[in-house]
Amino acid sequence: MVKADLEAVVKFNRERPDVYGNAHPKNLLRAIQEDGDHLSKLSSRHIYSIDQFERESLFQLFRLAAKYEANPDRFGTSLQGKILISAFYEPSTRTRLSFESAWHRLGGDIMSITDRSTTGIAKGESLADVGEMFNNYGDCVVLRDTNANSVREMMSALRIPIINAGNGTDEHPTQAMADLYTIFKWKPSLITEEGSEKINLCVVGLPSKMRTVRSLLKLVALFPECFGQVTIVNDQSMETMFDEGQATQLLDAGIDLQTSDCLDDVLPDADVVYINAIAWEGNSFNQYGKQFHITSDSPLKKSAIILHPLARGAELCCSLDSTEHNWYFAQARGAVFLRQALLTCLVQRAERVLDIV
Amino acid sequence: MVKADLEAVVKFNRERPDVYGNAHPKNLLRAIQEDGDHLSKLSSRHIYSIDQFERESLFQLFRLAAKYEANPDRFGTSLQGKILISAFYEPSTRTRLSFESAWHRLGGDIMSITDRSTTGIAKGESLADVGEMFNNYGDCVVLRDTNANSVREMMSALRIPIINAGNGTDEHPTQAMADLYTIFKWKPSLITEEGSEKINLCVVGLPSKMRTVRSLLKLVALFPECFGQVTIVNDQSMETMFDEGQATQLLDAGIDLQTSDCLDDVLPDADVVYINAIAWEGNSFNQYGKQFHITSDSPLKKSAIILHPLARGAELCCSLDSTEHNWYFAQARGAVFLRQALLTCLVQRAERVLDIV
Amino acid sequence: MVKADLEAVVKFNRERPDVYGNAHPKNLLRAIQEDGDHLSKLSSRHIYSIDQFERESLFQLFRLAAKYEANPDRFGTSLQGKILISAFYEPSTRTRLSFESAWHRLGGDIMSITDRSTTGIAKGESLADVGEMFNNYGDCVVLRDTNANSVREMMSALRIPIINAGNGTDEHPTQAMADLYTIFKWKPSLITEEGSEKINLCVVGLPSKMRTVRSLLKLVALFPECFGQVTIVNDQSMETMFDEGQATQLLDAGIDLQTSDCLDDVLPDADVVYINAIAWEGNSFNQYGKQFHITSDSPLKKSAIILHPLARGAELCCSLDSTEHNWYFAQARGAVFLRQALLTCLVQRAERVLDIV
Chains near C, with 3+ CB pairs < 8 A? Answer: A, B
Q: Are C314 and C290 in contact (CB under 8 A)?
A: yes
* Interchain proximity B97–A46, CB inside 8 Å: no
Nearest to C172 by CA among C63, C47, C66: C47
Q: How far is A243 from chain C (nearest CA, A)?
A: 26
In three-state form (DSSP H/G/I as H, E/B as E, the rest C), the secondary structure along A247-314 is: HHHHHHCCCEEEEECCHHHHHHHCCEEEECCCCEECCEECCCCCCCCECCCCCCCCCCEEECCCCCCC
pLDDT in tens, A215-255: 999 999 999 999 999 999 998 888 899 999 999 999 999 99
Check whether B82 has a pLDDT greater than 70.
yes
Cα(B51)–Cα(B237) distance, rounded to whole angstroms? 26
Q: Which residue has the higher pLDDT, A148 or B357?
A: A148
Average pLDDT over residues A67-79: 96
Task: Flag the least confident range among A190-194, A256-260, C5-9.
Answer: A190-194
Residues of B in contact with A118 (CB under 8 A): 88, 91-93, 114
CB of B40 less than 8 A from some CB of C: no
More confident of the two residues A311 and C84: C84
Q: Which residues of C touch B83 (CB under 8 A)?
A: 101, 104-105
pLDDT digits (tens, 9 = 90+) for C58-75: 999 999 999 999 999 999
Taking CB atoms within 8 Å and a gap of at least 24, the contacts of B56-60 are: B58/B177, B58/B180, B58/B219, B58/B222, B59/B32, B59/B191, B60/B32, B60/B34, B60/B35, B60/B36
pLDDT beyond 80 at B287? no
Closest CA to A336 of A144, A74, A126, A64: A64
Q: Which chains touch A (3 or more CB pairs under 8 A)?
A: B, C
**Closest listed residue to residue C268, CA positions, set C316, C313, C302:** C302
Query: How many residues are present in chain A?
Result: 357
The helix or strand, by DSSP H or E, that contains position A127, with its residue range, turns out to be helix A127-137
C-alpha C12/C-alpha B336 separation (Å) is 25
Q: Is C40 on the interface with A (CB under 8 A)?
A: no
Report pLDDT for C89.
95
Of residues B49, B126, B137, nearest to C97 (C-beta): B137
B125–C333: do the CB atoms touch at under 8 Å? no
Whether A149 contacts chain B with CB within 8 A: no
Strands B83-88 and B140-145: parallel
The mean per-residue pLDDT over the stretch B190-213 comes to 90
CB contact under 8 A, B12 and A118: no
- Pick the residue of C111, C159, C160, C222 with the most A CBs within 10 A to test the interface with A by mutation: C111
Q: Is a pLDDT exceeding 90 seen at residue A281?
A: no
- pLDDT value at A290 more than 70: no
From C198's Cα to the closest Cα of chain B, the distance in A is: 30
Return the closest-CA partner of residue C332 out of C105, C102, C159.
C102
pLDDT above 90 covers a percentage of chain B that reads 84
Q: Is A344 exposed, middle or buried (0-12, 13-18, 19+ CB in 10 A)?
A: buried
Shortest alpha-carbon distance between residue C91 and chain B (Å)? 5
Question: Is B260:B270 a contact under the CB 8 Å cutoff?
Answer: no
Q: Give the pLDDT confidence score for residue B120 in this predicted structure.
A: 74
Span of C91-100, C109-118, C139-148, C214-223 with lowest mean pLDDT:
C109-118
Residue C285: per-residue pLDDT: 46
Question: What is the pLDDT confidence band of residue C197, given thresholds at 50, 70 and 90?
Answer: confident
CB distance A110 to A81 below 8 Å: no
**CB count, 10 Å around CB of C169?**
18
Contact across the interface for A81 and B73, Cβ inside 8 Å: yes
Task: Find the residue in B nearest to A118 (Cα).
Answer: B91
CA dihedral A46, A47, A51, A55 (to 10 degrees): 110
- To test the contact with chain C by mutation, choose from B133, B151, B167 the residue with the greatest count of C C-beta atoms within 10 A, namely B133
Q: Report angle CA A92, A96, A101 to the nearest 5 degrees.
A: 150
Type of residue numbered B160: I
Size of interface A-B (CB pairs under 8 A): 109
* Alpha carbon distance B348, B44 (integer Å): 9
- Counting beta carbons within 10 angstroms of the beta carbon of residue A192, is it exposed (0 to 12), middle (13 to 18) or buried (19 or more)? middle
pTM of the entire structure? 0.96
Proportion of chain B above pLDDT 70, given as a percent: 95
3 state SS of C353: coil
Distance CA(B324)–CA(B313), nearest Å, equals 20
Using an 8 Å CB-CB cutoff, list chain B residues near A133. Answer: 93-94, 97, 310, 332
Q: Distance from A247 to chain B by nearest Cα, in Å?
A: 15
C133 to A97: CB separation less than 8 angstroms, yes or no:
yes
B111, B113, B163, best to mutate vs chain C, most C CBs in 10 Å? B111
Residues of chain C contacting A104 with CB distance shorter than 8 Å: 83, 109, 111
CB of A343 within 8 A of CB of A321? no
Please tell me if residue B49 touches chain C, with a CB cutoff of 8 Å: yes
Least confident of A15-24, B55-64, B279-288, C38-47: B279-288
CA distance B172 to B215: 6
**Residue A177 pLDDT > 50:** yes
CA angle C218, C219, C224 (to 5 degrees): 100
Partner B, chain A 101-140, Cβ-Cβ below 8 Å? 109, 111-115, 117-120, 123-126, 128-130, 132-138
Beta partners for residue B47, in sequence order: B163
Q: What is the pLDDT of residue A116?
A: 85
Instruction: Show the CA angle centred on residue A137, arms to residues A153 and B31, nearest 5°.
Output: 125
Determine contact, residues A65/A185, Cβ cutoff 8 Å. no
Q: Which residues of B touch A83 (CB under 8 A)?
A: 101, 104-105
pLDDT at B270 over 50: yes
User: Which residue type sits at B141?
Assistant: V
Higher pLDDT: C356 or C82? It is C82
Answer whether A133 sits within 8 Å of B1, measured CB to CB. Answer: no
Of C44, C51, C114, the CB nearest to A1: C51
- C107: nearest CA in chain A? A107
CB C116 within 8 A of CB C146: no
pLDDT band at C277 (very low <50, low <70, confident <90, very high): confident
* C152 touching chain A per CB within 8 A: yes
Give C299-353 pLDDT, tens digit per residue.
999 999 999 999 998 899 999 999 999 999 999 999 999 999 999 999 999 999 9
CB contact, 8 Å: A88 with chain C?
A: yes
How many interchain CB pairs under 8 A, A with C?
A: 109
Predicted confidence at residue A118, as pLDDT, reads 81
Among B12, B74, B286, most A C-beta atoms within 10 A, so best to mutate, is B12
Mutate one of A79, A86, A109 to test the B interface: name it (highest B CB count within 10 A): A109
Q: How far is A283 from chain C (nearest CA, A)?
A: 9
pLDDT at A278: 66
Phi-psi region of A153 (alpha: psi -120 to 50; beta: other; left: phi over 0): alpha
**b (16+ CB within 10 A) / e for B54-67:** eeebbbbbbbbbbb
> What average pLDDT does this structure show over A116-121?
80
pLDDT in tens, C220-245: 999 999 999 999 999 888 889 999 99
Confidence of residue A285 (pLDDT cuts 50, 70, 90): very low
Say which amino acid occupies A168: G
Return mean pLDDT, chain C.
Answer: 93
CA C36 to chain centre: 22
Taking Cα atoms as reference points, which of B116, B33, B31, B29 lies closest to residue B69? Answer: B29
Q: What are phi and psi of A282, to 5 degrees?
A: 65, -120
What is the average pLDDT value for chain B, to the nearest integer? 93
Nearest to C180 by CA among C143, C226, C142: C226
How confident is the model over A27-60, as pLDDT tens digits? 999 999 999 999 999 999 999 999 999 999 999 9
Q: How far apart are CA B180 and CA B191, in angstroms?
A: 12
Main-chain phi, psi angles of A48, to 5 degrees:
-110, -45
Write the ipTM: 0.95
Measured between CB atoms, which of C15, C311, C336 is closest to B136?
C336
Beta carbons of B91 and A124 less than 8 Å apart = no
Q: For B225-255, write each residue's pLDDT tens digit.
A: 999 999 999 988 888 999 999 999 999 999 9
Is C306 in contact with C235 (CB distance < 8 Å)? no
Which among A11, A310, A318 has CB closest to C133?
Answer: A310
- Residue closest to B241 by CA, chosen among B207, B266, B289: B207
Neighbours of B (≥3 Cβ pairs closer than 8 A)? A, C
Distance, CA of A296 to CA of B57 (rounded, Å):
72
Contacts of C37 (CB under 8 A, 6+ apart): none
Q: At C249, give phi and psi (nearest 5°).
A: -55, -40
Query: What is the spatial order of strands in the sheet that A256-260 belongs to?
Result: A256-260, A227-233, A199-204, A272-275, A305-307
